[in-house]
Structure 1
Amino acid sequence: MNKERILKNTTHWYEWRQKADKKTMLLLSLLFACLTGIMGQIVFTIPGTTIITTPQVLVVLMAGIILGEKYGAISMALFMIIGLLGVPWFSFGNGGFNGAAENIGFLSGFIFAATFTGYVFDNYQTSHKPLKCFLLMLFADIILIHTCGCIGLFIVLITRGVKISLISLLIVKFVPNIVRNTLEALITTLITSLIAPKDPTKLDTQKTKIIRRKK
């Protein structure tokens, strides 16, 4: 499949997404929730480091881009709710309220990140450019997911009587994971460059709301 055919097919996807009914989009949201859970069980160490991670965040970032702002958020909300009900598909096989206590901030960050990426990609043409896409992904990963995660973890630790400052926790969590965050942003940018139409303004503007204004 050549590049022009890929771009043509992905443009058709964005147009089809806007015409799809609510039931179809909810099913796709559930599919992304399941995919997020599956990716949370694929554990590996980043080569050249001691950082253990999963490809889960990649799916979170792509949920908004592929499903859009609303259904990207719904997919991550479904992922969180189903996991809290007991399905062990959070990272490293955790599930239920007890298994998610320390990660509730990260789970909330998943919803914010999917909403953010979906909104920006559907409303700002310049976000489809590689450099801006990379910065967007880095922001969603570091600020929306990991900052929310650290705040949530901080609250849990404080309630358990652990004495630690939020700044110290942010440093401990951020510094070792810079490499991982950068790789996640790069990989997501590469995938996005293949699936997102480069000029969304050429889509059927009477049937889709994609990119109606330039930043």
Structure 2
Amino acid sequence: MSNPAQAPTHRILVAEDSEAISDVVTTALSFQGHMVSHVANGHEALSSALAQPADLIVLDVMLPGIDGLEVCRRLRAAGSTTPILFLTALAEPEDRIRGFATGGDDYLTKPFTVDELVFRVAAILRRTAPPAGPALLQLGSLTLDPAGHEVRRAGTLIDLSATEYRLIHYLLANRGVVLSKAQILVEVWQDDFTGSENVVELYIGYLRRKLDAGHPPLIHTRRGIGYVLREASE
């Protein structure tokens, strides 16, 4: 099995009435670093999934009380989008079709190997993971969080205008690259400005006063060429 230290932690609900199988599944997924809870019948599976939504449900089809297909059907009717991996001895094509048609995301038949279970679970979690937010941009003690629209220097929030924010975002995205005034105008002001390129110099000055107060300068001038964002030691 893969190294559990490399696997992210997810909450997984295992609904399986066979103690031997549930022990195998629970142990294997716990070994991967997941938080695993177990129920042994359909009523418990439904109530648990609705009360405390998991990141994934491993659901036996032939559960006592309410079978797994009905559990899935009721969860989907209640608006649950939690991915479901059916785990069952029913291996005919029509059984698989019925599982997917009910709202299942994958179908694993018994007997199964632990490795296949682990890899199927990992694949479902990858497919259903929420999209990652924009990556944090950083240079030394300067950080820009695109998701939060925040710029910080040594942890201190810097109050920037919308234009100043666009300018430092462009410089950070191209850190180490010398950018001409014309390039900066096109990327930062786009079609919103028709005046002199000197406006770039003006806003560079604004940024320097806000970002460099009490810190080594990060925005450097290349005379006759443009500006570059880099640490002073570089």
TM-score range, shorter chain: under 0.3
Name the structure where helix makes up a greater proportion of residues.
Answer: 1
TM-score where L is the length of structure 2: 0.18
Name the structure where strand makes up a greater proportion of residues.
Answer: 2
Bigger RCO of structures 1 and 2 (CA < 8 A, at least 6 apart): 1
TM-score where L is the length of structure 1: 0.20
